[in-house]
Amino acid sequence: MSNEQWPPLSPFRTGVHGLCPRCGQGHLFEGFLTLKPRCEVCGLDYSYADPADGPAFFVMMFLCVPAVIFGLWLEIAYAPAWWIHLATSLPLILLTCIPPLRPLKGWLVAAQYFYKAEEGRLVPPQETKPAA
């Protein structure tokens, strides 16, 4: 089947669930964050995928920063013992940092496929002919 014969699938649905962005049935990941070389169902080569540090950036900016702010607020407002931070702040930071990485990475990879995103290329300027 060529790419034109596959129905367009939502990058959010397939990516968040770690499914192939082309067929929606194969899996994206081998381990927690390691991408498979290709889909085991449709054979889509995942070498195009390069989410780089995108998932980590989004998790840090939108989830980890508020969790750290909570820990700082707790310290400033109540100055609790260290074990209170161990019981509250540490689990909050770990739960906001680690679990969202895989769905975000899957979503970014699926979005790259869906929107046919690729690395930018510099194209030499085209020569223009002088007007006659």
Confidence of residue 93 (pLDDT cuts 50, 70, 90): very high
For residues 41 and 21, the answer to whether their CB atoms sit within 8 Å is no
Query: Which is more confident, 38 or 125?
Result: 38
Confidence of residue 16 (pLDDT cuts 50, 70, 90): very high
Rounded CA gap, 3 and 40, in Å? 16
pLDDT at 70 over 80: yes
| pLDDT at site 120 | 75
Rounded CA gap, 71 and 75, in Å? 6
Average pLDDT over residues 109-131: 80
Does an H or E element contain 110, and which? helix 101-114
Question: What is the signed CA dihedral for 81, 87, 102, 13, rounded to 10 degrees?
Answer: -120
Confidence of residue 129 (pLDDT cuts 50, 70, 90): low
- Prediction pTM value: 0.81
Query: Which is more confident, 78 or 118?
Result: 78
123: Cβ–Cβ under 8 A, 6 or more apart, which residues? Answer: none
pLDDT at 132 over 70: no
